[in-house]
Amino acid sequence: MSRFKLGLIGAGKIVRDQHLPALRQTPALQLAATADPYASLDGVPGFHDMDAMLDAHPDIEAVSICTPSALRFETARAALLRGRHVLLEKPPGATLSEVEALTELARHQRVSLFAAWHSRFAPGVARAKAWLANRRIDRVHIEWKEDVRVWHPGQAWIWQPGGMGVFDPGINALSIATAILPAPFFLRHARLWVPENVQAPIAAKLDFVDTQGGAIAADFDFRQTGAQTWDIHVESDGHSLSLTQGGCRLAIDGEMVLGEKEQEYRGLYRHFAELIETERSEVDIAPLRHVADAFLYGYREMTEAFIE
């Protein structure tokens, strides 16, 4: 496989925690520079914006866009117009229309576009998908609860329109569910709890049904303290499957069959390199569509103000 030079757009918490360690373990990609007006990485050339980065490093072939979702469209569009391959952190855009426009532009430019649902690369997801492939689903319970103060400290953008609130982590659960469940599913009821001083929900309960009548319930909450919960439990034909710890642990009929450490972003970047090498794009908007449906169809209930 060829080695491609890559630029990171954004140098914030998610980049430092996840992207940078994964890139160090991905021989097919070489981090050449970053673009962020407020932050930089030690030992890596840093620039105020992407255009300055690409002007200084014309050999950069791909960019990974890790800005808040409301800023991604213009950045991704500019990168595609300059002939660069693009990885979009999740969610791939603030709206479905934006992502569809980028997909068409990438096709026209003949470069790769990757909507990078990192949770799909958790160790247990592929095996869960294979086990469920030919089964009828009876019930699914998704519980995705974490502490926003731990994962998004001081990040006011997450509470603004486009920031998605609790759907920022919740979309990770939906990205796994849309990958592993064998039949499409559709929203039937949604309840969103929105703090009185922000624009995005802090908790949500969603009820879906699939095309075979299977019931899928999701419970998202940004107010969890102590142990964090990222679990999906599936009942099918008298059997059970549980993906826990965000997909790192897999149990079938109560027996643990897989328990590994998180390695999502390493798999994600390896896949991006493969897409570039084979001149392909991969843009699945199903998880974002489910979030859009929740905002469109959900009942909103005001709750107490969020104070960090």
Question: Could you report the per-residue pLDDT of 132-144, keeping only the tens digit for each?
Answer: 999 999 999 999 9
Residue 8 lies in a domain: yes
| CATH value at residue 27 | 3.40.50.720
State which of 98, 115, 132 marks the end of a domain: 115
pTM assigned to the model = 0.94
Q: Which amino acid is at 120?
A: R
Catalytic site residue from 5, 13, 90, 145: 90
* Integer-rounded Cα radius of gyration of the chain: 19
State which of 85, 115, 145 marks the end of a domain: 115
Q: What is the pLDDT of residue 69?
A: 83
Label residue 296 exposed, middle or buried (CB < 10 Å: 0-12, 13-18, 19+).
exposed
In a shared domain, residues 95 and 186: no
Q: What is the pLDDT of residue 1?
A: 63
State which of 87, 115, 143 marks the end of a domain: 115
Confidence class of residue 263 from pLDDT cuts 50, 70 and 90?
A: confident
In a shared domain, residues 42 and 94: yes
The tens digit of pLDDT for each residue in 40-71 reads 999 999 999 999 999 999 999 999 999 988 88
The tens digit of pLDDT for each residue in 276-293 reads 999 999 999 999 999 999
In a shared domain, residues 189 and 298: yes
Range of the domain at 48: 4-115
Is 90 a catalytic site residue? yes
Structural domains of the chain, count = 2
The tens digit of pLDDT for each residue in 156-173 reads 999 999 899 999 999 999
Residue 216 lies in a domain: yes
241: enclosing H helix or E strand:
strand 239-244
Residue 269 lies in a domain: no
